[in-house]
């Protein structure tokens, strides 16, 4: 079998070259995207070697001396890193539990509307915040909720005492979750609405003839049809747990609530740009986050497949 495969190898390569030449226009179209990924995503990965080096500006990345696992030893011995790590885990676990179902629920609610014009208007309203940067969103929130903001101005007209929502540590995390839902739920719901629109309508017609209520049709037809999409989105969400939400937290935080928002993404930013830079240390933290993200994504993929929801990695490998 081995000898036969060796003999067939030149023939396979020839067929591959023939197919590439036959579809050369398509390959030319994707060439800029491939070149972009190589230059912007793969070449910079060489900088990960800084995690195992002591960076010297005069020597550059490649000539800086190797230090082995010294940077990782310093990372794991740092109490600040440990606090940021567990803060990241806690914030993102709650994020998955609270925020991840929001676009699914929104999509199901929009799908149940029968007034198309009203439905499209709501979709536009819910989708619009996604196109605002977190700088703009945080400015809106601060203008509304600050001590001299619109909310306290309204309370003053009623003769009530002002409230300091942005300066209250217990309220900062709920503010993160609520603002995240407001900004992204409408946009994410489009994916689920697209999946719902592809469901065979004969299933609903048959269920209606059999006497199924709208709630029963939603539970037994719509949700099972959404499960593969939910599984993929869940895997992607889990795969970015350790490095996400930097823009949101960075722009909404202030000195009073900073201790409630020191995630790893913010921690990497601070040790790189706000303190004496130690690029080897910060690169080690970043690499650690990437390894954890990859591990979580693989684990979420395996769990999803075990539960029958399909997977992302396995489906790609199987060509589905």
Identify the helix (H) or strand (E) that includes residue 258.
none
Q: Would you give the DSSP letter of residue 270?
A: I
The residue extents of the domains of the chain are 1-52, 72-317
Confidence of residue 319 (pLDDT cuts 50, 70, 90): very low
Q: What is the pLDDT of residue 310?
A: 63
pLDDT in tens, 246-300: 888 888 888 888 778 888 888 888 888 877 778 888 889 988 998 998 898 888 8
Q: Is the pLDDT of residue 163 over 70?
A: yes
Burial (CB < 10 A; 0-12, 13-18, 19+), residue 316, is exposed
| Cβ(269)–Cβ(286) below 8 Å | no
Q: Would you give the DSSP letter of residue 160?
A: P
Confidence of residue 186 (pLDDT cuts 50, 70, 90): very high
- What gap in Å lies between CA 10 and CA 25, rounded to an integer? 24
- What gap in Å lies between CA 240 and CA 245, rounded to an integer? 9
Architecture of domain 72-317: Orthogonal Bundle (1.10)
Helix axes 134-145, 150-157, angle to 10 degrees: 20
Confidence of residue 211 (pLDDT cuts 50, 70, 90): confident
């Amino acid at each position: 079998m081995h000898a036969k495969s060796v003999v067939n190898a030149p023939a396979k390569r020839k067929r591959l070259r023939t197919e590439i030449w036959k579809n050369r226009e398509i390959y030319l179209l994707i060439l800029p995207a491939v070149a972009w990924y190589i230059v912007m995503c793969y070449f910079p990965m060489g900088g990960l070697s800084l995690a195992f080096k002591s960076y010297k500006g005069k020597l550059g990345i490649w000539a800086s001396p190797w230090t082995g696992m010294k940077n990782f030893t310093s990372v794991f011995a740092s109490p600040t890193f440990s606090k940021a790590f567990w803060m990241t885990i806690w914030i993102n676990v709650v994020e998955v539990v609270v925020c991840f179902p929001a676009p699914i629920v929104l999509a199901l609610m929009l799908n149940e509307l029968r007034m198309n014009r009203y439905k499209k208007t709501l979709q536009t309203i819910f989708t619009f915040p996604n196109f605002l940067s977190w700088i703009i969103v945080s400015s809106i929130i601060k203008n509304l909720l600050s001590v001299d903001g619109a909310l306290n101005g309204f309370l003053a007209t009623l003769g009530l005492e002002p409230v300091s929502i942005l300066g209250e540590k217990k309220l900062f995390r709920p503010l993160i979750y609520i603002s995240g839902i407001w900004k992204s739920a409408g946009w994410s719901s489009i994916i689920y609405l697209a999946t719902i629109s592809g469901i065979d309508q004969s299933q609903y017609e048959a269920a209606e003839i059999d006497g199924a209520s709208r709630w029963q049709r939603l539970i037994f037809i719509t949700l099972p049809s959404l499960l593969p999409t939910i599984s993929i989105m869940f895997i992607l969400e889990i795969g970015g747990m350790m490095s996400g939400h930097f823009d949101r937290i960075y722009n909404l935080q202030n000195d009073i609530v900073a201790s409630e928002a020191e995630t790893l993404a913010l921690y990497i930013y601070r040790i790189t740009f706000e303190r004496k830079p130690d690029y080897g240390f910060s690169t080690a933290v970043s690499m650690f986050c990437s390894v954890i993200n990859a591990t979580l994504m693989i684990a979420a993929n395996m769990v999803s497949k075990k539960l029958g929801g399909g997977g992302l990695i396995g489906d790609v490998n199987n060509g589905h």
